[in-house]
Amino acid sequence: MMLVVLLGAPGAGKGTQAAVLRDRLGIPHVATGDLFRTALRAATPIGLEAKAYMDAGQLVPDDVTIRMLEERLGRPDAAAGAILDGFPRTAVQARALDAFLAARGGRVDAALLIDVPAEDLVARLSGRWICRAAGHPYHATMNPPRVAGTCDLDGSPLYQRDDDRPETIRARLASQLADLDAVVEHYRSTGALRTVDGREPIGEVSAALGAALEAVAAGTSGRA
């Protein structure tokens, strides 16, 4: 089992890099934000509960989020592992994940922090467009699709998320960055943390993440 956690502020590039890692590692990309958006489209109780928090730029409560994530990791396609994107987002979630994995003889093999300074995040998020079908991320200027308004990978239409409006972006950054710090400290203390410079172009960030994973697999890299 290979369990990789991608850490980063909103807009750091977790979704973008998770897609690359999924192809490289052959394990599913599990994004709690995508699970909430899918649940909302299906109007399930979890989706409806999450909506108010997402619209306000706040985190959905830990108990709901942890239950949803554990259900997802229990599905057969995650038996060999997963790349987690957007989970854990609090220290409580991080400890719950450790306990869930320990009960199955596993652990978080690598927690990869994509480090982007706060001042770059507003431009990343306000220019973000994602596809209807699978949430593949693009950026109006930094990573445009080949055909405007259309996903390169599956041809579905691109849209801007409700929570990528300027007011909600500010609320998300204001309320979520302290929790990210707590999660980063959690993985620094377990020794799983590796940090890459997320200001570099997408391909260079991918290469740095690949190198960090190889170092973890070889057991050669020291702490971040």
Q: Which residues pair with 157 in a beta bridge?
A: 150
Q: What is the 3-state secondary structure (H, E, C) of 136-176?
A: CEEECCCECCCCCCECCCCCCEEECCHHHCHHHHHHHHHHH
| Window of 72-80, 98-106, 135-143, 149-157 that interacts with ligand ADP by CB under 6 A | 135-143
d(CA 224, CA 41): 39
Strands (E), the chain: 2-7, 29-31, 81-85, 110-115, 128-131, 137-139, 158-159, 193-197
The position carrying tokens 């220019």 is 127
Least separation in angstroms between residue 168's CB and ligand ADP is: 8
- Pick between residue 201 and residue 217 the one whose CB is nearest to ligand ADP: 201
State which residue, 132 or 223, has the beta carbon closest to ligand ADP.
132
Residue from the set 8, 28, 47, 81 that interacts with ligand ADP by CB under 6 A? 8
* Position among 124, 136, 186, 194 found at the interface with ligand ADP (CB under 6 A): 124
Question: CB–CB of 4/112 below 8 Å?
Answer: yes
Radius of gyration (Cα) for the chain, nearest Å? 17
Q: Is the CB of 154 or the CB of 217 nearer to ligand ADP? A: 154
- Residue 134 touches ligand ADP, criterion: CB under 6 A: no
When binding is defined by CB under 6 A, the residue of 29, 72, 136, 139 that contacts ligand ADP is 139
Q: Does 36 bind ligand ADP (CB under 6 A)?
A: yes
Q: How many residues bind ligand ADP (CB under 6 A)?
A: 36
Can you say how many angstroms the Cα of residue 75 is from the centroid of all Cα atoms in its chain?
A: 19
Confirm whether 14 is a catalytic residue. yes
Residue type, 186: H
Q: Please list the active-site residues.
A: 14, 89, 128, 161, 172
Contact positions toward ligand ADP, by CB under 6 A?
Answer: 8, 10-16, 31-33, 36, 53-54, 57-60, 65, 86-87, 89, 93, 124, 127-128, 137-139, 142-143, 163, 172, 201-202, 205
